[in-house]
Amino acid sequence: MEHSIALVTGTTSGLGHAAARLLAAKGWHEIIVTGRNQAQLRETAAQLAAESKTQVFTPLELDLDTPSSVQSALAELVKRGRPIDFLLLNAGMVPGKKRVLTAAGIEASEAPLIGHHLLTVGLLRANLLSPKARIVITSAEPARGGVPMFQYTDVPAFAAKYFRDDQTAAVEALIRSGPNVKYAPNNAYADAKLIVAWWAAALAPRLPSGIAVYAVSPGASNATNVARNAGPLLKYLMIPIVNLIPGMNQTPEIAAGRYLQASEFGTDVSGQFFASAKGKFSGPMEVQRQPHLYDRASQEAAWQAVVNVSGVDLSRY
């Protein structure tokens, strides 16, 4: 893949910031950096330029929680008319102790996926992804299961109990944190990251034949704003314990390096979810083979739920 133009969401701190800096070191010609606040974004671009000693960073205001902001960003990209080679959908958050809904009625940890969906579909519709573009979206280790204190929802069982086996309605209820959803922050996070993995799997066959998408867990990296925003149980119990265990934490640069590694993967693994080996939170990443990740009904239900919430679909190419 030609290292020409990359777009990274959530670059004002943490893994997005580290990823943008790594892309500059790899020789990318232009890196579009995004964030909600224009002033902070300009400061971020200047900081990255100073850190990398390059002038390749272009700020683009983008609030993924606000559809009008996504549309404004897309309009700016259309005006520029230069296709993107690497789309890194990094922005996300760990939900807090209390349930938070956006103005559109979306649970806060689910909201970035809706914004990323709008951005990705908009770029595809405008032919603003290059013929061999790579899309990487951030998932997390809890999506594969087996992570202490995190439990994703059994969507087929949830659908059977409350939605007459309608898995799309069940996933949409999770996205909106509806009346049948018992809110627990760690479980909401696990659900959000599992839905991301299913969304990527459903997007893959809808992409033009040279473009590929991957869901990637960066692994444990607690020196980020996402971790610092976590609830007290995670922040004051699990993270300190994890930090004491060798191999269970890593720097933002090493974690963000997984994104760049995935950007070089081929179309043969498009739609796959990459994370640490079973029982680990750092080290080499590998394709995850857990059966729930490959359930086509769940993948399509996740896609259709995101379409329902966002109001935007993408026809198969």
- Asked whether residue 10 is domain-assigned, the answer is yes
What's the pLDDT at 33?
A: 97
Q: Of 5, 1, 2, which Cα lies nearest the Cα of 77?
A: 5
- Asked whether residue 21 is domain-assigned, the answer is yes
- Asked whether residue 104 is domain-assigned, the answer is yes
pTM of the entire predicted model? 0.92
- Asked whether residue 315 is domain-assigned, the answer is no
What's the pLDDT at 282?
A: 87
Q: Of 173, 171, 198, which Cα lies nearest the Cα of 290?
A: 198
Q: How many domains does the chain have?
A: 1
- Asked whether residue 317 is domain-assigned, the answer is no
CATH number at residue 261: 3.40.50.720
- Phi then psi dihedrals of residue 170, to 5 deg: -65, -45
- Asked whether residue 299 is domain-assigned, the answer is yes
Q: How large is the average pLDDT for residues 250-262?
A: 94
Cβ of 223: how many Cβ atoms within 10 Å? 15
Is the model's pLDDT at 113 over the cut of 70?
yes
Q: What is the pLDDT confidence band of residue 245, given thresholds at 50, 70 and 90?
A: low
Tokens read off for 219? 């692994």
Q: How large is the average pLDDT for residues 214-235?
A: 68
- Asked whether residue 216 is domain-assigned, the answer is yes
Q: What is the pLDDT confidence band of residue 179, given thresholds at 50, 70 and 90?
A: confident
Is the model's pLDDT at 114 over the cut of 60?
yes
Q: How large is the average pLDDT for residues 201-212?
A: 97
What's the pLDDT at 241?
A: 56
Q: Which domain holds residue 13?
A: 5-310
What's the pLDDT at 230?
A: 54
Burial class (CB in 10 A: 0-12, 13-18, 19+), 103: exposed
- Phi then psi dihedrals of residue 267, to 5 deg: -70, -15
Q: Who contacts 254 (Cβ-Cβ below 8 Å, separation ≥6)?
A: 219, 221, 282
Place of tokens 């018992």: 182
Of 44-48, 91-95, 109-113, 119-123, the poorest mean pLDDT is in 91-95
What's the pLDDT at 119?
A: 98
- Asked whether residue 316 is domain-assigned, the answer is no
